[in-house]
């Protein structure tokens, strides 16, 4: 088993941390995982992305050109990764930040109003968690509870008070995506 | 000890601490700054020395001085910073004292960029500084390997009174992977017979790299060469993948090696008998392992994130008996595995000539692949 995931968006949308939560959950499940950020000048203000590879064997390349799974938190990322996604792959798109329909019909595109869901929960910064929760519909190797445990085990003590809202964001994203999944043409 | 998710640079820093690092001297530069940043917090916490020097020149000469006392010391930098340290490295080599240096390589030449590269292979392996001196060079491909090789670097440097350098590209430094840290080793300051650590009640010792009499300098050079023979005999390390029945072998170190692993696996899935040899010590280089393989394989493919540097060493080992082909992405570009897969397919479909220059044909393919005009 090997799955590659790219999470992309603006700097400040929690792209890197979203990937880390997946990486922690994979590690705690006994899987191999790599997390690699786009580092450098683009981190400051521009677009950011990270690639997470999860596998049950030694991981070769930590980077991937055509991932089967991706999360696009803004329009530039939607444009870029819709094109790059492997056929049959799943792209979670932050509906709050895009104004167009998908162009491809050989991939699953799941729209999630990440900003609105996060604001309903009461913290706009949770938008990354709603998207990561949504991604799990296409990543059966990791369960919602695994992500919750990962946050609980690896979040610094001073941030633990934020856990309930993070759990809620993950779950709302997941539930929304499951409903969307039934609507998308395979 | 349970696995934790470690970022490469921070893992290297903690591994050095646990190996008994007594003093660190450095100067910040991307993409290795997290090593310095981490140690600036961690070393004082343990009552150990951390100095951010005024420059890389300052840092390496502080390493030189501290190493003369027999303490476990190191520095780290990235390509342009390591270039600045070359004079100091040569002095350390000439004085025959152990020192450890980590180079988290980035795109060059010149100021270049901060993206991952392997273009300092020649500088690290062939010497870089002036004079005729050997050095041990280790090339980790993962966070765990970087941790393991960090401790080994100190042990080897001290065993052979030699520079041990770890070269990794920026992506290993920036990547997070689950890894297991070794237990904390106690600091054991050895009273080496050469260390200048206070001459109370004993003969005074002199550490120097000056031998004004050429015959003395020649003897020193011969001693270094003899010691290198010992290193070559004992310390070659590499990892093999699918080599048993391989007709084609990819050779790559560090990140290029692990990207090649993905390509090799996919080619295997299509029935191609291809394997991978990933050197872990690039100096001493696994010449003999490649020599042995030459009897069994039809062609080699060298993959690097540079314009063909380790390629020379593979050609030295193969000695023209079978074709050695090359694929590289220089300047801070990390290849995707499908590029290497295409190269494996090219090898298999042939024909390949032993006499052709692999760098020239690679250059032609690069201009074609990148769709840019040959200048």
Contact A35 B176 (CB under 8 A): yes
Task: Give domain status of residue B107, yes or no.
Answer: yes
First-residue to last-residue Cα distance in chain A:
22
Task: Give domain status of residue B314, yes or no.
Answer: yes
Name the domain boundary from B234, B253, B272. B234
Q: Which residues of A touch B (CB under 8 A)?
A: 20, 23-24, 27, 32-37, 39-41, 58-65, 154
Task: Give domain status of residue B161, yes or no.
Answer: yes
Task: Give domain status of residue B350, yes or no.
Answer: yes
Q: Are residues B101 and B18 both part of a single domain?
A: yes
Residue B136 near residue B163 (C-beta atoms within 8 A): yes
Which residue in B154, B204, B209, B137 sits closest to B20, CA to CA? B154
Q: Are residues B123 and B266 both part of a single domain?
A: no
Residue A76 near residue A13 (C-beta atoms within 8 A): no
Span B132-151, pLDDT tens digits: 999 999 999 999 999 999 99
Nearest Cα of chain A lies from the Cα of B109 at a distance, in angstroms, of 18
Q: Are residues B230 and B102 both part of a single domain?
A: yes
pLDDT along chain A (186 residues), means of 10: 96 93 96 89 69 97 96 95 96 96 95 97 95 96 95 89 94 94 64
Q: What percent of chain B has pLDDT over 70?
A: 100
DSSP helix, strand, coil percent of chain A (3-state; round to 5) = 50, 20, 30
Which of A39, A59, A63 faces B334 most closely, judged by CB atoms?
A63
Nearest Cα of chain A lies from the Cα of B38 at a distance, in angstroms, of 17
- Band of residue B354 on the pLDDT scale cut at 50, 70, 90: confident
What is the model's pLDDT at position A185? 56
Q: Are residues B163 and B33 both part of a single domain?
A: yes
Contacts of A61 in chain B (CB under 8 A): 258-259, 261-262, 336-337
Which of A24, A36, A64 faces B5 most closely, judged by CB atoms?
A24
Contact A61 B30 (CB under 8 A): no
3-state secondary structure B210-229: CCCCHHHHHHHHHHHHHHHH
Instruction: Return the residue matching tokens 């994203």.
Output: A173
CATH of the domain at B222: 3.40.50.970
What is the model's pLDDT at position B126? 94
Task: Give domain status of residue B375, yes or no.
Answer: no
Task: Give domain status of residue B374, yes or no.
Answer: no
| CB proximity under 8 Å: B 9-68 to A | 30-31
Nearest Cα of chain B lies from the Cα of A119 at a distance, in angstroms, of 30
Q: Does B112 touch chain A (CB under 8 A)?
A: no
More confident: B354 or B162: B162
Nearest Cα of chain B lies from the Cα of A177 at a distance, in angstroms, of 28
Q: Number of CB pairs < 8 Å for A and B?
A: 67
Contact B178 A36 (CB under 8 A): no
Instruction: Return the residue matching tokens 């003897």.
Output: B219
Contact A40 B263 (CB under 8 A): no
- Band of residue B102 on the pLDDT scale cut at 50, 70, 90: very high
Task: Give domain status of residue B104, yes or no.
Answer: yes
- Name the closest residue on chain B to residue A65, using Cα atoms: B336
Q: Does B176 touch chain A (CB under 8 A)?
A: yes
Name the domain boundary from B171, B203, B234. B234
Task: Give domain status of residue B20, yes or no.
Answer: yes
Q: Are residues B217 and B248 both part of a single domain?
A: no
Contacts of B262 in chain A (CB under 8 A): 60-61
Strand, coil or helix: B190: coil
Contacts of B261 in chain A (CB under 8 A): 58, 60-61
Span B10-47, pLDDT tens digits: 999 999 999 999 999 999 999 999 999 999 999 999 99
What is the model's pLDDT at position A39? 67
Q: Are residues B228 and B245 both part of a single domain?
A: no
Is the pTM for the entire model greater than 0.90?
yes
Q: Are residues B55 and B99 both part of a single domain?
A: yes
Which of A24, A62, A65 faces B171 most closely, judged by CB atoms?
A62
Contacts of A20 in chain B (CB under 8 A): 5, 176
Span B188-224, pLDDT tens digits: 888 899 999 999 999 999 999 999 999 999 999 999 9
Asked, as a colleague might, if the bond just before A120 is cis with ω within 30 of 0, I would say no
Strand, coil or helix: A42: helix
Q: Are residues B183 and B250 both part of a single domain?
A: no
Q: Are residues B24 and B153 both part of a single domain?
A: yes
Contact B177 A34 (CB under 8 A): yes
Give Cα A78 to chain centroid, integer Å.
13
Domain around B225: 4-234
- Name the closest residue on chain B to residue A25, using Cα atoms: B5
Question: Beta strands B281-283 and B136-138: pairing type?
Answer: antiparallel
What is the model's pLDDT at position B350? 84
Contacts of B263 in chain A (CB under 8 A): 60
| CB proximity under 8 Å: B 315-334 to A | 334
Name the domain boundary from B187, B217, B234. B234
Find which of B1, B5, B250, B333 to mutate to test the A interface (most A CBs within 10 Å of its CB): B5
Contacts of B144 in chain A (CB under 8 A): none
Per-residue buried b or exposed e for A99-138, using 16+ beta carbons within 10 Å of the residue's own CB? eeeeeeeebbbbbbbbbebbeebeeeebbbbbbbbbbbbb
- Name the closest residue on chain B to residue A41, using Cα atoms: B114
The CATH architecture annotation of domain A2-183 reads: 3-Layer(aba) Sandwich (3.40)
CATH of the domain at B306: 3.40.50.920
Total domain count, chain B: 2
Span A126-148, pLDDT tens digits: 999 999 999 999 999 999 999 99
């Amino acid at each position: 088993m090997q799955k590659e995931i790219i999470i992309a968006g603006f700097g400040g949308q929690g792209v890197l941390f979203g990937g880390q939560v997946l990486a922690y959950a994979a590690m705690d499940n006994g899987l191999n995982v790599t997390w690699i950020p786009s580092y450098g000048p683009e981190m400051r203000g521009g677009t950011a992305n990270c690639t997470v590879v999860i596998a049950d064997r030694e991981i070769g390349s930590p980077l991937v050109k055509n991932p089967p799974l991706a999360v696009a938190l803004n329009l530039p990322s939607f444009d870029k990764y819709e094109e790059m996604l492997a056929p049959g792959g799943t792209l979670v798109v932050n509906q709050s930040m895009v104004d167009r329909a998908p162009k491809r019909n050989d991939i699953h595109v799941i729209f999630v109003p990440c900003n609105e869901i996060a604001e309903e929960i009461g913290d706009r910064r949770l938008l990354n968690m709603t998207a990561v929760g949504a991604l799990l519909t296409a990543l059966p190797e990791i369960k919602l509870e695994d992500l919750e445990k990962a946050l609980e085990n690896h979040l610094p003590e001073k941030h633990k008070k934020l856990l309930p809202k993070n759990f809620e964001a993950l779950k709302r994203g997941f539930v929304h995506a499951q409903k969307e999944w039934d609507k998308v043409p395979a | 000890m349970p696995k934790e998710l470690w970022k490469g640079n921070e893992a290297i820093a903690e591994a050095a601490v646990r190996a008994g690092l007594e003093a660190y001297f450095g100067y910040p530069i991307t993409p290795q700054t997290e090593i310095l940043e981490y140690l600036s917090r961690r070393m004082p916490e343990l009552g150990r020395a951390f100095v951010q020097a005024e420059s890389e020149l300052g840092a390496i000469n502080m390493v030189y001085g501290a190493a003369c006392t027999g303490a476990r010391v190191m520095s780290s930098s990235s390509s342009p910073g390591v270039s600045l340290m070359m004079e100091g490295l040569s002095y350390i080599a000439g004085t025959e004292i152990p020192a450890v240096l980590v180079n988290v390589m980035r795109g060059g030449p010149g100021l270049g960029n901060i993206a991952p590269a392997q273009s300092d292979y020649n500088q690290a392996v062939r010497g870089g500084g002036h004079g005729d001196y050997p050095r041990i060079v280790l090339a980790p491909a993962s966070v765990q390997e970087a941790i393991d090789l960090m401790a080994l670097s100190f042990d080897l440097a001290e065993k052979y009174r030699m520079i041990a350098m770890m070269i990794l590209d920026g992506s290993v430094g920036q990547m997070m992977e689950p890894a297991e840290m070794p237990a904390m080793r106690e600091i054991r300051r050895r009273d080496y017979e050469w260390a200048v650590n206070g001459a109370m009640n004993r003969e005074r010792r002199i550490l120097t790299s000056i031998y004004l009499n050429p015959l003395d300098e020649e003897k020193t050079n011969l001693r270094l060469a003899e010691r290198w023979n010992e290193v070559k005999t004992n310390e070659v390390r590499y990892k093999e993948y699918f080599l048993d029945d391989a007709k084609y072998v990819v050779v790559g170190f560090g990140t290029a090696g692990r990207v090649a692993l993905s390509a090799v696996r996919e080619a295997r899935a299509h029935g191609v008998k291809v394997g991978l040899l990933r050197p872990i010590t690039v100096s001493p280089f696994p010449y003999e392992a490649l020599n042995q393989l030459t009897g069994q394989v039809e062609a080699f493919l060298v993959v690097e994130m540079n314009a063909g540097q380790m390629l020379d060493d593979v050609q030295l080992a193969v000695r023209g008996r079978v074709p050695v082909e090359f694929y590289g992405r220089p300047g801070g570009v990390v290849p995707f595995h499908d590029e290497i897969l295409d190269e494996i397919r090219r090898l298999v479909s042939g024909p390949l000539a032993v006499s052709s220059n692999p760098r020239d044909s690679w250059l032609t393919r690069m201009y074609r692949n990148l769709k840019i005009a040959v200048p």
